Structure 1
Amino acid sequence: MIDKKILLELDFYKTLSLIKDFTSSSATKKAIEAISPFDEFEEASRTLKEFEEMQEGRSLNILSFPDISELIERSKKEGVIFEPAELTQFLKVLEVLENISSSVEELLNFSFLSQRIKTILGTNLSIGNPKLLEILENTVDEEGNILDSASSYLKYIRKQIKNTEERIKQKLEEMLNRADIQIFLQDRFITQRNNRWVIPVRMDSKGQVRGVVHDVSRSGETAFIEPEEIIPLSKKREELLIEQRVEEIRILKEVSFEVHQISESLKRQFNLLVYLDKMLSIYRFSKKFNASVPQLTKEITINLINARHPLLMLTTEVVPLQLELKNKKVLVITGPNAGGKTVTIKTVGLLTAMALSGLPIPASSSSVIPFVRNIYVDLYHEGSIEEHLSSFASHIVTLKTILEGADSESLVLLDEIGTNTDPEEGSALACAILEELKNRGSLTFATTHLSKVKIFAATQEDIEIASMLFDEATMTPLYKLSIGSLTPSYALEVAKRYGFPENVIRRALELKGTQDREIYELMKELERVKKEYNERLEEVEKIKNKILAEKDKLEREIIAASENKKKIIEQAKKEAQEMLIKLKKEINFLYEEAKKADRKRLREISRKISELSKQFSSEKSEHQEKIDPGDFVKIKNLNLSGKVLTIEDGRAKIQTDSIQIETEISELEKVLSPNMHEKTKSLGQFVLTSEGSSPKYGEFLPEKLDIRGMRVDEALSIVERYLNELSLKDLSRGLIIHGIGKGVLRDSIREYLKEHPLVKAFTKGNPDEGGDAVTVVELK
């Protein structure tokens, strides 16, 4: 646990006071005063996440409410009776709870806030108590008075009291107007003394007005007398007042019992109200001081971006602090007096303590704060009068405590380390302490004016050096921290600027010597070289990033080009497929036309088919086999075969089984002599058979078409082509062999021939032809 004295030195409690200004209740102020750094990382991290969720879903509007924590503790006791003013405090709290109930329901949708709310409320997550709220609203008002609506009997009694008082006033008015009474009066008015209605009578005439004297004026000249005529009415009024008090006590008992019944639930709800008001106050603080939730890490590293000390923000425009320690854990800060060194390390300590307490810090949300379990501070070196310690002795006692407790989970802040003693010995001791803290892994920030400490820090690989920037032209601090730089303290220069005697400045320079100045000049040159190196390194890094960016760009373009190529190929394939289908349809149409055309028309169609066939040709093969007249060839892509009749000027005339086609030699593929007994399903071909003969390719034997054993649909297709071939050859008769079997194929063929446009008539074959197993067809 971090010592409260340390938090006090870091202005932690002053910062909490800034948050307290935004609260709606004294109970919330107490809750904020109790805020302190958490001992566990998970608790601090969870509290910061709760605040982040509060920022996202904040719809709360909490009005001012009293602190009823003590009243709630009293309400737990049996038979407790609250005064009307105390019940009014319960009323105000219940009104606020009722007002925020819907907002609490929204907050239950958030992960971390929901867990916190459930922890506070327990099993019952409902907010407010409508029944008790209604009772209290009918019982007491905002000023703590019991209302007439508290009970019908109370209302009746109060009406009777009012009527009685009206009668008393009426009688007294009548007496004031009587001539026999007026002569004894000091003044003409009605008033009350000791809760009795009276009239003012001159002291020398008090025996002339019969009644009871209840008071005398300060001057002694007036007696306040209750005339005996109204005494019966006054007694009645007293009795009614007693009855009123009895009824009021009864009402207070009943209402207090209702409060007692829900005391535990009310306590939980009040705790939730205080928690939400605390979070809302922190939110308002964050808006005013531009605070945000930092990244809390278990690693001992720190990165403050645009960090500011909140107390300084109240009085001046603060130069934001930029501070980052990457691989080093010790930072030694140098620079002139009043340059901001002490403010820098106090800002580091305060913001760390705030983040560990689950509070947003006045810095960028990208800032990184380490979770440390202890913070050690040596900021002030005044001597202790009680212990009769010198400044250095006090300094040593503090450093001893730090060295006894600091470890790898500690933040150490040392202001002007090694001062208040001999510079040589103080410097040596300071360097040893810094080295020890470095070896322990403590996150350490130290300020110094000692030259040897500066040089030591600048030459240590694991210690970072920094300085508060100073404008040498105007001799004024810039309040900016520069990591990696080393500057002198400019004490003599500042003294000169403020009018120090010239001879004193000159003598001081003589006494100071040139060694320190030479060291600073060397360090300055080193810093210049380092800066130049870093700048070139940045340029190299930029070039490297640019090259990597170009590489990424080219890789993306290659991938895009590859994808585009795939798309183009797919599109080309699709278009080629569509073209292929279109061309096949056109060729089939031409073949159908050819069936009906004369021989002159056939030549034209042949040329057309040849032209179309070119569109099917793929890339030329690297090796083209020699083709001569008489060779059997296949026309690529058309799947047509035939015999080469002639070759002239790179073009060949092909005789297929039905027509002649001219085409480029490059479109031909040499094949072996085909077997005409083999059934093919090529475009424009069908099967013809002739008993006892093996026809040569190109010969046509139309006597018989044998379709035995075929399916009906297959046979009909062959018969269609057979009829077309007979028509193209100008033959008027054909014979189809289908067999008898069950007669299905025969009947289907003959039914088909009935409707065919080329068929004039058909009959079954003669006995020598096969009888009913064949069908003889006569064409038109």
Structure 2
Amino acid sequence: MNEKILTTLAFDQVKDQMKPYLVTAAGKKELQTLTPVVKIDQVNQLLLETSDGANILRLVGVIPIPKLADISPQLKRLKIEATLSATELAAIGRVLRASGSIKLFFDKLEQQAVPLATITKYVAEVVTIPDVTKRLVTSIENDGHITDEASSALHEVRQRISRTEAQIRQQMEAYTRGKNAKYLSDAIITMRNERYVIPVQANYRSKFGGVVHDQSQTGQTLFIEPQAVMEMNNRLRQAQIEERQEEARVLAELSALIAPYRAEIAHNETILGKLDFINAKAQLAHASHATLPILSAENHVNLRQARHPLLDINRAVANDISIGEDYQAIVITGPNTGGKTITLKTLGLIQLMGQAGLYIPANEESTIGVFSEIFADIGDEQSLEQSLSTFSAHMDNTISILNQIDSRSLVLLDEVGAGTDPKEGAALAMAILDAIGAKGSFVVATTHYPELKVYGYNRPKTTNASMEFDAATLQPTYRLLMGIPGRSNALEIASRLGLAEQIVAEAKSLTSNDSQDLNDMIGDLVAQRKLAHDRTIQLDHDVADAQTLHDELTTKLEQYEQQKDKLMQQAREQANHAVAQARQEADKIVHQLRKLEQQGVQVEENQLIDAKGALNALHVEDSRLKKNKVLQREKRKHNFAIGDAVLVKSYGQYGELVQKRGQNDWEVQLGILKMQVNERDLEKVGKEQLASKRDEEPKRRVVRTTQTTPATARLDLRGHRYEQAMGEIDRFIDHAILNNLSPVTIIHGKGTGALRKGTHEYLQSNPRVASFEYAAPNAGGDGATIVYLS
């Protein structure tokens, strides 16, 4: 791509927008070399890289690359076996650490199944050198400081330095805080010539002995190293020399250690720069609301709501621009400052961005071509040095373009043929456009010449376009109107600006009728086009809403079907489980009764009631029947009253209602027993049914109802298994009700809390339990529960 087009369309300013997102020197080098490419496979590769970066940014955030300096000079020095400084080694260490971090980051992305097309091949080229990296990280901090762990000798000598400094300070503090402090100019310890000294008043020099290392500007203060600390300062100085020697040895050792890996480290730096650059492209796309363009091998350009990338996103007017499929030439007419030039630049700059692998500032599904060259003649290129007029400069540029174009070129001409006689200029402009068309190039040209409106209408593969102008406000809207030539608004503008009506009328009379008719026709076309455009926008909005609703309903329907199947499966499993449990419980009850009969033990009435109640409790009604309106209406016809014959469902016993107890409870006469039962456990039956049941009683086997189990108000569940304990609670509560025992105590212990939880859940579900609470602290506390029966 020629350099002139990059300058004309300000491509470097687009590149400058990426600079704030770059953190590595190698990434900035990538940006410097960024230019549009002209092969479709190369463009596609660059766009795929940007898409990978955009996917990572959208799903997990930016690729974690730290700030990295350029290490290529250090690597060159290693080639000649030079010893690097601690700061230089720290820079290389940062690259090695970043290499390892990037490997781990992309391993996690792979586990998360983040869709990546091309970027992983770069990551695969990163070489990690764990041993070298660990040694560098251990020995050199990020700021270039050599750590104590760099070597055992360095650690030992630094400890010696610390001890010596502590001893010196301790000795010096005897001067600054003791009786000798009065001889000092200031009670501080400072350093001169890398030795600890104190500021002594000049007239007391002899009080401390030692060596004078410095004096104040006035000469009133001498910085003296006292005789008592000179030996310690000497030891400190010697240790410091040993420290520097050991540090130099460590640096030489580390330099020799990484020297064999120069090529791998350099390549890692390049890959990290590439990833940094991809990061920057993705972040720029996100910040500018740019989208991935579709590539057209036939160079069919279709930009949807394209914006100039250098304008404020909130103020730039977006336009649809199409060329290549239906026509290869566009002639844009309209008044000055209407946006014609910016439209040319928008088309050209977006093409450059797309061919450089950048997302474009346009709506999704926008299409770009892949041109071998893009040429532009935009702006006033008058040159005083070359004695060229505006017309001559434009002609010189146009001739150069005509000599270079081919069928894969895009040409942008601003005010083609301008700067000379209008008649000749219009004729020249049409001839230039014909010459460009003959070579198969695509061209977009702006003009003021009315003759080119007819040209755009008559020539094949050519269309007119214009920039919309609001006649009511006398302001351009900067919207591109495809298929409609621009009309002249000079007379309307002059009238609204206050030019006398007589002058405006005279001007209209001098204008040919054909010209007036053409302007009226254009005005009508503009109005109709605007109406159609507004309706299209509304229809697109409605279609998008409808599609969104359709997709949402489809998704919800799929979720509903999946949830329904899941719930049905769960219900079947739960039902099967409940049936299996019920069968087990029924078998246990029958087995217990048969065992008692085989042993010749007389079954007591309360035991039969317990067994019958336990069997009936295994039945679970279908909750859907509760919502059946027919059943509900039928039940409302059977209101309970004193004397009604009823069936106590939980016990399978028939009796009569004696009196109402509370809002929903009744006292029921069951033979010789009276019980308080909730209405939900009662079913109204006929008197004849109750009589027939009583007639059957003499035919039954005589059952004695002697009390064989002594009544007790205390149940101890400690040591019982959960299932066994729940059965005993149920029988215990029945016995307590039959014997009018209330309150009663259930001892479940503390333990793991399973028995306590199960006991409380049972008591909450039993309608005959009025309330319950933990026992007093001296009676078991939360290891026992007091139950009050209704």
Q: Does structure 2 conserve the Cα–Cα contact (< 8 Å) formed by 1:101 and 1:127?
A: no
Shift of 1:99: 1.9
Map of 2:68 onto structure 1:
66
Please show how residues 235-634 of structure 1 align to structure 2 within 5 Å.
235-314=234-313, 316-498=315-497, 516-521=515-520
Residue of structure 2 equivalent to 1:145: 145
The change in CA–CA distance for 1:112 and 1:61 in structure 2 (over 3 A counts) is closer
> What residue in structure 1 maps to residue 135 of structure 2?
135
1:65, 1:93 within 8 Å by CA — same for their partners in 2?
A: no
Aligned AA (2:70): I
SS in structure 1 opposite 2:144?
Answer: coil
Q: 2:5: which partner in 1? A: 6
Would you say the 8 A contact 2:332–2:467 is kept in 1? Answer: yes
Q: Which moved more, 1:210-219 or 1:294-303?
A: 210-219
Matched to 1:456, the amino acid is Y
Give how far 1:279 is off: 1.0
TM-score (norm 2): 0.62
For 1:98, which of 79, 97, 100 is the aligned residue?
A: 100
Quickly say closer, same or farther: Cα 1:504–1:8, change in 2 above 3 A: farther
Q: 1:89 aligned to 2:91? A: yes
State the Cα deviation string for residues 198-246 of structure 1 (Å, max 9, x = none).
Answer: 1112245445542322233345432222223222211111111111011
- Does the CA-based 8 Å contact 2:185-2:199 persist in structure 1? yes
Q: Is the 8 A contact 2:65 2:102 kept in 1?
A: no
- In structure 2, the CA distance between the partners of 1:317 and 1:378, relative to structure 1 (3 Å rule), is closer
The verdict on how the C-alpha distance between 1:166 and 1:107 changes in structure 2, with shifts beyond 3 A counting, is closer
* Alpha-carbon separation, structure 1, partners of 2:424 and 2:219: 87
In the alignment, the residues of structure 2 paired with residue 527 and residue 480 of structure 1 have an alpha-carbon distance, to the nearest angstrom, of 12
* Cα separation, 1, equivalents of 2:270 and 2:30: 10
Cα distance in 1, alignment partners of residues 480 and 341 from structure 2: 12
Question: Match of 1:301, as an amino acid?
Answer: H
1:301 touches 1:443 (CA, 8 Å); kept in 2? no
* Closer/same/farther in 2, CA of residues 219 and 4 from structure 1, 3 Å limit: farther
Matched residue SS, 2:146: coil
Contact 2:323/2:329, CA 8 A, preserved across alignment = no
- In structure 2, give the amino acid aligned to 1:67: A
- Give the C-alpha shift of residue 133 in structure 1: 2.2
- Counterpart of 1:224? 223
Specify the alignment match of 1:608 in structure 2: none
Match of 1:637 in 2: none
- The residue type equivalent to 2:322 in the other structure is L
Q: Give deviations 1:710-746, integer Å, cap 9, x for gaps.
A: xxxxxxxxxxxxxxxxxxxxxxxxxxxxxxxxxxxxx
- Deviation per CA, 1:128-158, whole angstroms, max 9, x where unpaired? 3322221122112222211111111111100
Deviation at 1:75, TM superposition (A): 5.4
How far, CA to CA, are the matches of 2:498 and 2:200 in structure 1? 84
Structure 2 CA distance for partners of 1:219 and 1:143, relative to 1, 3 Å = farther
Change (3 A) 1:396 1:241: same
2:321–2:347 CA contact under 8 A, matched in 1? no
Identify unmatched segments of 5+ residues in structure 2: 537-790
The one-letter code matched in structure 1 to 2:341 is T
Aligned in 2, Cα 1:501/1:158: closer, same or farther, shift over 3 Å?
farther
Contact preservation (8 Å) 2:26, 2:269: no
Aligned-residue offset at 1:466: 0.7
Task: Tell me: CA distance 1:500–1:199, structure 2 relative to 1, closer, same or farther (3 Å).
Answer: farther
Instruction: Give yes or no for contact 1:184–1:209 (8 Å, CA) kept in 2.
Output: no
Q: How does 1:738-757 map onto structure 2 within 5 Å?
A: none
Paired residues of 2:469 and 2:477 also in contact (CA < 8 A): yes
Q: CA deviation at 1:347?
A: 0.8
Q: Distance in 2 between matches of 1:219 and 1:436?
A: 90
Q: CA deviation at 1:354?
A: 0.9
Q: Distance in 1 between matches of 2:528 and 2:361?
A: 35
Q: Which amino acid aligns with 1:227?
A: P
Distance 2:42 2:434 in 1: 33
SS in 1 for 2:375: strand
C-alpha distance in 1 between matches for 2:49 and 2:137:
34
Asked whether the 8 Å contact 2:138–2:147 carries over to 1, the reply is yes
CA contact 1:97–1:127 (8 Å) conserved in 2:
yes
Work out the CA distance in 2 between the residues paired with 1:196 and 1:506.
Answer: 99
- In the alignment, structure 1 residue 172 sits paired with structure 2 residue 152: no
What is the CA–CA distance in structure 2 between the aligned matches of 1:27 and 1:220, rounded to whole Å?
56
How does the TM-score come out when normalised to structure 1?
0.63
* Alpha-carbon distance, 1:507 to partner: 6.7
| Structure index of larger Rg | 1
Contact 1:289-1:313 at 8 Å conserved across structures? no
Query: Cα distance 1:231–1:518, how it changes in 2: closer, same or farther (>3 A)?
Result: same
Supply the distance in 2 between the matched residues of 1:472 and 1:505 (Cα, whole angstroms). Answer: 16
Contact 1:323–1:481 at 8 Å: present in 2 too? no
What whole-Å deviation, never above 9, does each CA across 1:360-380 have from its counterpart, x for those lacking one?
Answer: 111233222111111111111
Tell me, in whole angstroms, the C-alpha distance in 1 between the residues paired with 2:526 and 2:175. 105
Instruction: Write out per-residue CA displacement over residues 658-713 of structure 1, whole angstroms, 9 at most, x where no aligned residue.
Output: xxxxxxxxxxxxxxxxxxxxxxxxxxxxxxxxxxxxxxxxxxxxxxxxxxxxxxxx
| Greater CA drift, 473-482 or 506-515 | 506-515
Could you say if the C-alpha distance between residues 185 and 297 of structure 1 is closer, same or farther in structure 2, counting changes exceeding 3 Å? same
8 Å contact from structure 1 (residues 308, 319) kept in 2: yes
- Residues 363, 218 of structure 1: CA spacing in aligned structure 2 closer, same or farther, 3 A cutoff? farther
How far off is 1:529 after superposition? 10
CA distance in structure 2 between the partners assigned to 1:527 and 1:187 by the alignment: 89
How many residues get paired? 530
Distance 1:160 1:531 in 2: 87
Give SS of 1:262's match: helix
Task: Measure, in 1, the Cα distance between the counterparts of 2:480 and 2:9.
Answer: 20
Please tell me the residue identity of whatever aligns with 1:172. Answer: M
Q: Alpha carbons of 1:520 and 1:320: their partners in 2 closer, same or farther (altered >3 Å)?
A: closer
Shift of 1:177: 4.1
Aligned-partner Cα distance in 1 for 2:43–2:165: 65
Alignment correspondent of 1:162: 162
Q: Is the 8 A contact 2:53 2:281 kept in 1?
A: no
- Specify whether residues 427 and 275 from structure 1 end up closer, same or farther in structure 2 by C-alpha distance, changes over 3 A only: same
Q: 1:337 and 1:288 mapped to 2: Cα distance?
A: 32
Where in structure 1 are there 5+ consecutive unaligned residues?
539-780
Seen in structure 2, the aligned counterparts of structure 1 residues 202 and 40 have a Cα distance that, compared at 3 Å, is same
Contact 2:44 2:295 in 1 (8 A): yes
Q: What is the distance in 2 between the residues matched to 1:495 and 1:131? A: 81
Partners of 1:329 and 1:444 within 8 A in 2: yes
On the 8 A contact 1:448/1:454 being kept in 2, the answer is no
**Any idea what the Cα deviations from partners look like across 1:99-131, whole Å, max 9, x if unmatched?**
22134347789999676654x57xx74543322
Distance in 2, Cα, partners of 1:515 & 1:262: 81
Residues 38 and 182 (structure 1 numbering): CA distance in 2 closer, same or farther, change over 3 Å? same
> Is residue 319–residue 480 contact of structure 2 (8 Å, CA) maintained in 1?
no
Q: Secondary structure at the match of 2:214?
A: strand
Distance, in Å, in 2 between the alignment partners of 1:504 and 1:257 is 91
- Pick closer, same or farther for the CA change 1:531–1:61 going to 2, 3 Å: closer
Q: Distance between the aligned counterparts of 2:82 and 2:273, measured in 1?
A: 24
Letter of the structure 2 residue corresponding to residue 154 of structure 1 = L
Cα deviations across residues 416-435 of structure 1 (Å, max 9, x unaligned)?
11222222222121111111
